[in-house]
Amino acid sequence: MGNHAYIRLVQGSAAPSGITLDELEQSLELYQDALKRTGHQLNWEYEDAAFPYTIEKVVEPSSSEPTWLYLRGKASRYRHIALNTITPNEQSEAGSCPTVQIVLPNGATHGDKSKANELCRFIAQRLKAELTLFNGRVMYFNPRKL
């Protein structure tokens, strides 16, 4: 598949100056906690079905600090999702605002894509950001003036 989605932290976002990889990992942990509480209410291990991934930090050879969050699938129908933060001074498709990039690497399944869409919406809503989905459509969670 090899698709990208972007969460842009535009003016009016909860974190307009940017987000770190650790803060992004905290957002994923909040997502897992919400799923755990939902499962507790349903009396079912919902978290394992709704978030079938383990979170790993990836360090690139040219850097000493983690640069990617890698979600490795636990079940056979889920393989992997990668998340990265982009600062405005880096040359990218993201533009001139701090951005979270969600990548479906080659070999990702349709299950990965649907879980990535859920994660994108959760993170964008939490950060009050602008979300460009994998299909190019844009969702606005930031307060905009008309």
- Per residue in 69-116, pLDDT (tens digit) is 999 998 788 999 999 998 876 545 555 788 999 999 988 999 999 999
Indicate the burial class of 139 (C-beta count within 10 angstroms; 0-12, 13-18, 19 or more).
middle
> What does the alpha-carbon distance between residue 101 and residue 18 come to, in Å, rounded to a whole number?
12
- What are the chain's domains? 3-140 (3.30.310.120)
**What value does the mean pLDDT take over residues 21-38?**
92
pLDDT at 145: 65
Q: How many CB atoms are located within 10 Å of the residue 53 CB?
A: 20
Q: Which two tokens stand for residue 66?
A: 């983690």
Classify 135 as helix, strand or coil: coil
> What does the alpha-carbon distance between residue 76 and residue 125 come to, in Å, rounded to a whole number?
29
Classify 21 as helix, strand or coil: helix
